[in-house]
Amino acid sequence: MNTFKSIHHLIQSRKEAIFAYQKKHNQWLPITYSQFLNSYLKLSAFFRSIDIDAQSSIAIFSKTRIEWNLVDFAIQANRCITVGLYSNDSDRNINNCLKLTNPKLLVLESYEQLAKIQSIDSDWGWSKPVIVMDANHCQAEPVYHLASILKKPLCEKKSQIIENDINNIASNEIISYIFTSGTSGEQKAVVLTQGNLYHTAQVYKEHYPISQEDKTLLFLPMSHIFARVMFYASIHWGQNHYYLESVDELVEQLKLVNPTTLLVVPRLLEKVMANIEKNVAEKNLLSRLLYRFSLFSGRLHNTSPLPKVVTRPLYYIADRLILNSLRKIFGSSLRFVGAGGGHLSPEVCRYFWSIGIPVYEGYASTESGGLGIFNYPKDSLIGSIGKPILPVECKTEKDGELLMKSPSVALGYLSKTGLQRFDEWISTGDIAEVDLSGYYRISDRKKDLIINAYGKNIAPSWIEDQFLIHADIENIIVIGHNRPYLTALIVPTENQCSDEYVYSTIGDIVSHVNQRLSRHEQIKQFALIPPFEIENQQLTSTMKKRRFAIENSHRDIIERLYATKSNRLVTQ
Domain identity same for 418 and 272 = yes
Distance spanning both ends of the chain, measured CA to CA:
57
Residue 176 belongs to a domain: no
Pairing of strands 130-132, 426-434: unpaired
Q: Is the pLDDT of residue 571 over 60?
A: no
**HSE-up (13 A, CA, CB side) for residue 415:** 9
Residue 219 has pLDDT above 90, yes or no: yes
User: E-assigned strands of 435-481?
Assistant: 440-445, 450-451, 457-458, 473-479
Asked if the model's pLDDT at residue 534 lies above 90, the reply is no
Distance of alpha carbon 169 from alpha carbon 176, whole angstroms: 14
The domain that holds 470 is classified in CATH as 3.30.300.30
Q: Is 564's pLDDT higher than 80?
A: no
Residues 564 and 520 in one domain: yes
Say whether both 319 and 387 belong to one domain.
Answer: yes
Taking the C-alpha atoms of residue 59 and residue 98, their distance in angstroms, rounded to an integer, is 8
- Structurally, the chain folds into a number of domains equal to 3
Q: What is residue 541's predicted lDDT score, i.e. its pLDDT? A: 78
- Looking at residue 449, what DSSP letter applies? -
Burial class of residue 332 (count of CB atoms within 10 Å of its CB; 0-12, 13-18, 19+): exposed
Within this chain, do residues 443 and 499 fall inside the same structural domain, yes or no? no
pLDDT of residue 138: 56
Cβ-count burial of 561 within 10 angstroms (0-12 exposed, 13-18 middle, 19+ buried)? buried
Distances (CA, A) of 383 to 306, 346, 376: 19, 4, 13
Among 223, 247, 271, the domain-final residue is: 247
- pLDDT in the model for residue 570: 46
- Looking at per-residue confidence, does 272 or 543 come out higher? 272
Same structural domain, 425 and 507: no
Decide: helix, strand or coil at residue 154.
coil
Residue 29 belongs to some domain of the structure? yes
Label residue 475 by pLDDT band (50, 70, 90).
Answer: very high
β pairing state of 412-415 and 189-193:
antiparallel
Provide the total of helices (H) and of strands (E) in the chain, helices listed first: 19, 28
- pLDDT tens per residue, range 169-183: 999 999 999 998 765
The angle subtended at Cα 38 by Cα 33 and Cα 39, nearest 5°, is 100
Sorting pLDDT into bands at 50, 70 and 90, what band is 140? low
Q: Provide mean pLDDT across the span 205-221.
A: 93
Q: How confident is the model at residue 518 (pLDDT cuts 50, 70, 90)?
A: confident
pLDDT at 1: 61
Span 54-97, pLDDT tens digits: 999 999 999 999 999 999 999 999 999 999 999 888 888 888 89
Q: Which domain holds residue 220?
A: 4-169+208-247
Residues 277 and 304 in one domain: yes
Going by C-beta distance under 8 Å and a sequence separation of 6 or more, which residues neighbour residue 174?
55, 81, 191, 192, 193, 194, 411
- Per-residue pLDDT for 507 more than 80? yes
Average pLDDT over residues 543-567: 85
428 and 303 part of one domain: yes
State the average pLDDT for the chain.
91
Instruction: Look at 472 and 494; give whichever has higher pLDDT.
Output: 472
Across the range 113-123, mean pLDDT stands at: 79
Q: Which of 129-138, 345-354, 546-555 has the highest mean pLDDT?
A: 345-354
Please check the confidence at residue 184 and state whether its pLDDT lies above 60. Answer: no
Choose the weakest-confidence range: 221-235, 494-508, 546-560: 494-508
Shortest CA distance to 318 belongs to which of 345, 354, 342?
354
- 413 and 479 share one domain: no
Residue 136, pLDDT above cutoff 80: no
- Residue 444 pLDDT class (50, 70, 90 cuts): confident
Q: What angle separates helix 266-281 from helix 346-354, to the nearest 10 degrees? A: 70
* 3 state SS of 445: strand
**Residue 23 belongs to what H/E stretch?**
strand 18-24
Please tell me whether the peptide bond between 209 and the residue prior to it is cis, using omega within 30 degrees of 0: no
> In percent, how much of the chain has pLDDT > 90?
71
Kindly report, residue by residue over 390-414, the tens digit of the pLDDT.
999 999 999 899 999 999 999 999 9
Residue 565 and residue 456 share a domain: yes
Q: Are 361 and 386 in contact (CB under 8 A)?
A: yes
> Which of 247, 273, 299 is at the close of a domain?
247
Q: Which of 562, 559, 343 is nearest to 448 (CA)?
A: 343
CATH number at residue 79: 3.40.50.12780
